[in-house]
Amino acid sequence: MSYGLQYLQSRTNISIKGDEYETITTYEIQLIPEAELGRGSFAEVVLARWQGIMVAVKRMKRGQVREFKRELDIWRGLQHDNIVPCYGASLAADPPFIVLKYMQNGDLLQYLRRTPDANRAKLLHDVALGLLFLHSKQVVHGDVKSGNVLIDDAGKACVTDFGLAIKYQPTGDGKDRSHPVGTLRFMAPETITQGLRTYASDVFAFGMLMYETYTHRLPHSDARDADVASGKLVLSRPTSEQAISRGLNDDVWDLHQSCTSPMPEKRLTAKMISAKLAEIMYTYVVDPSLPKLNFEIIALPSSTSIHVQGSSYDASLLAVPSALSDGTSASRKA
């Protein structure tokens, strides 16, 4: 163990394994002056160069070592096309940092403002696949919102920021009092009132993300924080021409409502959301006049991948049409 890690462990009483947490050193990172990508309560993200490529470096603020270790423990175990890749980290650095893939198109709303004709259903489908993967790994994200969805150079949406993520324990109460519980206007009622964070609360936040994606507005943007914190407000369906032109139709709004039921047990799962968005995405991309297809999640070998419009998807988590309207089965060779 390096001297820096020994010193850090002596000051924090946190067990740290050098091989596990010091995978990239400060000397390997070349920070780009005045290139801040983002800033939050616990960290800042800056642009840097590492091994000849541009990367994003998340630097934790002092006093956040325990939270940093917790986030890193979760993030480094997540490899999926719709999760921002974590390349490595150092707990010995001052401040500690995580090195991430640089997503040059910024966050979801930034991308949509520059690309108004983007297929929002496809982007949301990307996010849903990311959530489906997280939940399959027993991870609750805890802070789903547009700022935590980044877009890569191919226009693919990826989930980022696991500072509030937890490992879900089905036998527990879902409460986690060591962290803030998320972003108020995306929080489920049970999160606001009881501190519960579960797969269902992620789904609720996803429903609020849908609203934000089609309106470019925060949920309950006109309401006071105190009213939002009551957990009793209900969103009205947007009727603006902009929202409609962006694709907010009956199917999209029905899906939003199915995600944001006040009763957690009545909300859809990430798997159901992925299948529904695949159907909506198909209609948007191909032709609204075509007959609707029924979609379902199919199980394929984990080594199988499918490429759609420059994006690569894990086929085992992809929604595909189960049958055509005339009853003909839809099939594909893996």
Binding-site positions read: 58
Cβ neighbors of 264 (< 8 A, separation 6 or more) are: 188, 190, 196, 198, 200, 201, 204
143 is catalytic: yes
d(CA 238, CA 244): 8
Binding-site residues for ATP, in ranges, read 58
SS3 content of the chain, % helix, strand, coil (to 5): 35, 20, 45
d(CA 329, CA 2): 60
Residue in 81, 107, 126, 143 annotated catalytic: 143
Please give the structure tokens belonging to residue 82.
């719709």
Nearest to 155 by CA among 205, 128, 120, 203: 120
d(CA 307, CA 311): 5
Q: Are 46 and 35 in contact (CB under 8 A)?
A: yes
Tokens 């609720």, located at residue: 204
Residues involved in catalysis:
143
